[in-house]
Amino acid sequence: MTSDLSRAGARRRPQRHLPLQVLLGFLVVYFLVPFWWVIVNSSKDAPGLFGGGNTLWFADRIDFLGNLEQLFTYDNGIYGRWILNSTLYALAGGVGATILAVMAGYGFAKYRFAARRFSFSLVLGALMVPATALVIPTFMMFSEFGLTNTVWAVILPSLLNPFGVYLMHVYARDAVPDEILDAARADGAGEIRTFLQVAFPLMRPAVVTVLLLSAVASWNNYFLPLAMLSDNRLFPVTVGLGLWQGIASANNAGSTSLWSLIIMGALMSVIPLVIAFFSLQRHWRGGLSVGGLR
């Protein structure tokens, strides 16, 4: 790793490379096409959507607000509920998983306790267990305790984030020097206070990264809530839109309004995460390199 100073010196001249920028331009268009399509078509009324006009450009009549109102009023505003559910699952799962991961990562990095090596190798092994393999047995277990079809059925399994533990372990090991911890202890700080007031601030970039990664994983989750939930008022937005799409495809003719709801619903569902990512950019970029560099 170099200091910022020498790096700035080596990169003083901006590198333009026109042909590469043109190539980048084409690739950016590819990555943005689906967003563009959704934005354009969320503004169309039914004739505009089905009239056979240009699918990548706006129709003569723009009815964005009408579609938006329809989305949030359809079926007693079920869509708003789905968004709130997704938010709850992402926040509860994300915050919970992060707290557990930060504590465990710090514990693994800074204490030589019994069975530490063995436990940590179990965590590393768990990185390779596909999450979906756990869905069916977890469903069976939860149904024994009457937990299926409750919010807990979605939140509890999201608390498990072995990759977060691994990231926090690496980060705590490298970014929190033992000397600082020993100094805090010598000054009379207890273990908990040393962790909260000395170690935690040093680990903040990785904490934000783990928080974002786990919140995104919960927000994106589909298989787990699909299996666990049967009451559509508990659905996250992913399962809800999947449900609408199934209904709309099944009776193509009679569900013209549902298609425009799905388009608007897709657009509205991506906005919260896009905002979260852009506003927190500074924080997660630093932490993301941790896992890749070792």
Partner 1 sequence: MRGKVRLREHVMGWLFVGPFGIVFLTLLIAPLAYALYLSLFQKKLIGGTSFVFLDNYVKAFTDPSFISGSWFVIRFSLVSIPLQIIMALALALILDAVTSLFSRFSRLMIFLPYAIPTVIGAVMWGFLYSKSFGPLTDLFGLFGATPPDFLGSNLIFYGLVNIVTWQWAGYYMIILYAALQGIDPALYEAARMDGAGKWQIALRIKIPLIAPALLLILVFSLIGTLQFFNEPQILRSLAAGTIGPDFTPNMYAYQQAFALANFNYGSAISFALGGVVFVGVYGFLFLTRKRRSFL
Q: Which of residues 163-192 bind partner 1 (CB under 8 A)?
A: 165, 191
Distance CA 93, CA 157 (A): 8
CB nearer to partner 1: give 79 or 259: 259
CB nearer to partner 1: give 76 or 278: 278
CB nearer to partner 1: give 65 or 115: 115
Interacting positions 224-243 with partner 1 (CB under 8 A): 226-227, 237-239, 241-242
The CA distances from residue 141 to 128, 149, 235, in Å, are 22, 13, 20
Q: What is the pattern of x (binds partner 1, CB under 8 A) and - over residues 61-100?
A: --------------------------------------xx
Q: Minimal distance in Å, beta carbon 72 to partner 1?
A: 17
CB nearer to partner 1: give 119 or 257: 119
Classify the C-alpha dihedral 29-33-35-39 as positive or negative: positive
Distance CA 236, CA 65 (A): 23
Q: What is the pattern of x (binds partner 1, CB under 8 A) and - over residues 18-47?
A: --xx-xxx-xx-xxxxxx-xx--x------
Among 59, 92, 104, 210, binds partner 1 (CB under 8 A): 104
Distance CA 261, CA 71 (A): 5
CB nearer to partner 1: give 39 or 72: 39
Q: Minimal distance in Å, beta carbon 47 to partner 1?
A: 13
Distance CA 50, CA 53 (A): 8
- 62 pairs with which residues across the strands? 44
Residue 253 engages partner 1 in binding (rule: CB under 8 A): no
Distance CA 202, CA 195 (A): 10
Q: Would you list the DSSP string of 25-54?
A: HHHHHHHHHHHHHHHHHTTB-HHHHHS---
Interacting positions 116-145 with partner 1 (CB under 8 A): 116, 119, 122-141
> Where does this chain touch partner 1 (CB under 8 A) — which range of 62-70, 73-81, 101-109, 200-208?
101-109
Q: Minimal distance in Å, beta carbon 238 to partner 1?
A: 4
b/e per residue, 165-180, with b = 16+ CB within 10 A? bbbbbbbbeeebeeee
CB nearer to partner 1: give 94 or 107: 107
- 44 pairs with which residues across the strands? 62
CB nearer to partner 1: give 72 or 131: 131
Token match 């109102």: residue? Answer: 69
Among 246, 251, 279, 282, binds partner 1 (CB under 8 A): 246
Among 4, 5, 76, 111, binds partner 1 (CB under 8 A): 111
Q: Minimal distance in Å, beta carbon 173 to partner 1?
A: 14
Distance CA 30, CA 18 (A): 19
Token match 């009679």: residue? Answer: 254
